[in-house]
A and B are shown apart, each in its own frame.
Chain A
Amino acid sequence: MKYIDEYRDAKMAEAYARAIDAAATKPWTLMEVCGGQTHTIVRFGIDELLPDKITLVHGPGCPVCVTPIELIDKAIEIASRPDVIFCSFGDMLRVPGTQKDLFVVKAGGGDVRVVYSPLDCLKIARENSGKQVVFFAVGFETTAPANAMAVYQAHQQGVTNFSILVSHVLVPPAMEAILSSPSNRVQGFLAAGHVCTVMGYTEYEPIAAKYRVPIVVTGFEPLDILMGVLMCVRQLEEGRAEVENQYARSVRREGNRHAQQIISEVFRITPRKWRGIGAIQRSGLGLSEKFANYDAEARFGVADYTAEEPAECISGLIMQGVKKPHECSAFGKRCTPEYPLGAPMVSNEGACAAYYRYRKVQTAVNIERNTATAMEA
């Protein structure tokens, strides 16, 4: 397939892996920010191709993972109401709240629907004027424009039975939180390509300069990631700390101005709580004053909910790259993809779910090293 196969070429991947090996004279720890990149790394086995001296730690860029438990509880409370049609992207349905997940609400008779676009919810709202239609607006800067557009259109069209439960977070403040932590071990970042497609990368330039850390805006295909690693390693070896753009086929320095405009009209920057990490100043989006009456938290009176995450779940440390998933005492025992303690074990993009498989890959790879490869026999 055009624009896909070129970036999954095995020979090129091997060549990049060799180039990385040649470029790195000592160990380096890099963080891929986005969960989509983590997923690619695991799905294609990229970390296996990399030399041992390169360690990839997985960042906080999985929207499912960083949504705090109290927001899930709020979603569950709203979705349980008989007058509500609750719409969500599919992968939020299995994230556990304090007591249950949205699948259980659905099983108990709640009208919970999976949608592919927030604009679909507007249609549902227009077709069900006797019901309240609520969209779970989750995600980073990537999903913000479409979610903003849904609210904007609802306003334009006078759709009053529509509201959104906002859980939007922003990448740069999270990167700063990681870098300023005393336990930080990240020496370079692969920044999230899709986020930068929307926002551009000027925001990252002061971060690279202040913390002396290379940041490479990176795509999501295997060769994108390998190339991003190579660019990052070269900067580290040469003592540079710049923002470079590996994903130039999608990202411009200034980003998508139209998308930014709708975000800034509908949303405003707010403090946000991140699952496992805690509150970070100016790290999220909430509805602006003009659109405040589309806020589901206010409409359903759930704004004051608070909840504590299971003490056993160390997702915060994992998403800051301080600990690896298998260093968690619950990993693979009391916490599995079927019965997760925390969101990172649920999502396809979650580091724990990825490691749950990776752990077994290592067993397989060891076997591979000890025996002849049957496939080639």
Chain B
Amino acid sequence: MSGPKDFNQICPIPIGQYPQVTLAHGGGGKLMHQLIERMFTPAFSNPLLSARHDGATFSVNGARLAFTTDSYVVSPLFFPGGDIGLLAVNGTVNDLAMCGARPLYLSAGFILEEGLPMETLWSVVKSMRCAADEARVQLVTGDTKVVDKGKGDGIFINTAGVGVIEHDLSISPASVRPGDVVLLSGDLGRHGIAIMAEREGLAFESAIESDCAPLGDLVMRLIDSKIEILCMRDLTRGGLASALVEIAEAAKVQIRIDENSIPVREDVRGACEILGFDPLYLANEGRFVAFIADSDADRALDILRSHPLGEGSCLIGKVTNDSSPAVVMRSRIGAMRIVDMLSGEQLPRIC
């Protein structure tokens, strides 16, 4: 059997370096991006995929739609501030919101491990229902599979979502221009630390709860107020740093941010200092950055801050017209440094 002529069937990942998939290939850093750029994008090559956005946006009979999917493999299934069900709904809702779409319908695919307590499954399902109600979406189709004991981690969930785009903005990395401002919707790092603390049994003075929340309503308020949004990105795996690097590279712009303007809660900073983590790379589940036209910055901040999920919103930087795409940060002591993407996940340091 032969494939299409222009389809290169030789595995494009350099052999001898990583002949097997490692966990770092799913960590949201450079190795994952290499996998996407060298294997998935060329294999499935099409203009919608090449836009490198959180979801695909397209028109069907005059209606503009957004379509996205995500899989959830979090361990532990329940953590302070949420659970895998809440994540599975909010994550996909947020990806649609980042496309500027009003989230409408979700699918849910469950991969369950033999022996999973029915009670656990029911808790997750209830949580998904509550999350869907809060985000004003419906779970309209689904699938269930069970795998042998030991071949899953309790529950894996895939959700896909469809939303409708009811405005004329082109929200995409390609729309970002020099002069735009970068707004951040609140403090960083709570989800990442909450999961890590629960998974590794690290105890802090008070439990740090995940920031998991649906962002659709907050984003719709910006859109309804005619704020000129150029691009949005939720700050999940890889955190703020990876999101900004991705956008800088896709838009071929330089993004300058100021470390002093980036809010991180005291307890999260403390955990980061102990573990040797940088909050810029920690995962969030209810935070996003928005690239906004400079003239709309103050109005957008007022709108964000008037919403409970955007109370801590702030301006963290600006897009400049320098030639080399990069994210440059003014550090706390006033020097400039590059913010780079990590290879994989952050690894706790030795000492």
B9 on interface, CB distance cutoff 8 Å: no
- With A106-B22, A107-B20, A348-B276 known as contacts, the answer to whether A48 contacts B351 (CB < 8 A) is no
Is there contact, CB below 8 Å, between B21 and A360? no
- With A357-B340, A364-B338 known as contacts, the answer to whether A91 contacts B348 (CB < 8 A) is yes
Mark A157-174 against chain B: 1 for CB-CB distance below 8 A, else 0: 000000000000000000
User: Which of B150-158, B183-191, B215-223, B319-327 contacts the other chain?
Assistant: B319-327
Complex CA–CA separation, A36 to B349 (angstroms): 10
- With A89-B348, A116-B202, A364-B328 known as contacts, the answer to whether A8 contacts B317 (CB < 8 A) is no
Is there contact, CB below 8 Å, between A114 and B347? yes
- With A91-B347, A94-B343, A116-B202 known as contacts, the answer to whether A360 contacts B338 (CB < 8 A) is yes
Mark B58-101 against chain A: 1 for CB-CB distance below 8 A, else 0: 00000000000000000000000000000000000000000000
Complex CA–CA separation, A91 to B347 (angstroms): 6
User: Which of A37-45, A77-85, A247-255, A283-291 contacts the other chain?
Assistant: A37-45
Select which of B18, B323, B336 is within 8 A of A45 by beta carbon: B336
Complex CA–CA separation, A339 to B200 (angstroms): 28
Complex CA–CA separation, A98 to B201 (angstroms): 34
Complex CA–CA separation, A267 to B200 (angstroms): 29
Chain B neighbourhood of A91, CB < 8 A:
347-350
Is there contact, CB below 8 Å, between A49 and B348? no
- With A93-B347, A348-B349 known as contacts, the answer to whether A46 contacts B335 (CB < 8 A) is yes
Is there contact, CB below 8 Å, between B333 and A374? no
Complex CA–CA separation, A140 to B202 (angstroms): 24
Is there contact, CB below 8 Å, between A49 and B21? no
Is there contact, CB below 8 Å, between A116 and B324? no
Complex CA–CA separation, A222 to B335 (angstroms): 11
Complex CA–CA separation, A93 to B348 (angstroms): 11
Select which of A138, A139, A223, A364 is within 8 A of B336 by beta carbon: A364
Select which of A45, A63, A371 is within 8 A of B335 by beta carbon: A45
Chain A neighbourhood of B320, CB < 8 A:
371, 374
Is there contact, CB below 8 Å, between B350 and A143? yes
A13 on interface, CB distance cutoff 8 Å: yes
Chain A neighbourhood of B322, CB < 8 A:
364, 367, 371
A58 on interface, CB distance cutoff 8 Å: no
Complex CA–CA separation, A367 to B269 (angstroms): 31
Question: How many residues of chain B are within 8 Å of chain A by beta carbon?
Answer: 52
Closest Cβ of chain A to B20, distance in Å, is 4
Chain A neighbourhood of B318, CB < 8 A:
374-375, 377
Mark A21-51 against chain B: 1 for CB-CB distance below 8 A, else 0: 0000000000000001000001111101100
Chain A neighbourhood of B258, CB < 8 A:
375
Question: How many residues of chain A are within 8 Å of chain B by beta carbon?
Answer: 56
Complex CA–CA separation, A63 to B351 (angstroms): 9
Complex CA–CA separation, A140 to B349 (angstroms): 13
Is there contact, CB below 8 Å, between B337 and A104? no
Closest Cβ of chain A to B317, distance in Å, is 7
Is there contact, CB below 8 Å, between A44 and B330? no
Complex CA–CA separation, A250 to B183 (angstroms): 39
Is there contact, CB below 8 Å, between A1 and B349? no
Chain B neighbourhood of A43, CB < 8 A:
278, 331, 337
A311 on interface, CB distance cutoff 8 Å: no
Closest Cβ of chain A to B292, distance in Å, is 15
Complex CA–CA separation, A108 to B34 (angstroms): 21
Is there contact, CB below 8 Å, between B333 and A44? yes
Is there contact, CB below 8 Å, between A1 and B270? yes
**Closest 6 A/B residue pairs (Cβ):** A45-B335, A90-B347, A13-B333, A374-B320, A10-B334, A103-B22
Given contacts A49-B333, A371-B322, A375-B330, 4 further A-B contacts (CB under 8 A): A92-B350, A107-B21, A140-B351, A348-B276
Interface, chain A (partner B; CB < 8 A): 1, 4, 8-10, 13-14, 36, 42-46, 48-49, 63-64, 89-94, 103-104, 106-108, 114, 116, 138-140, 142-143, 194, 222-223, 337-339, 348-349, 357, 360-361, 363-365, 367-368, 371, 373-375, 377
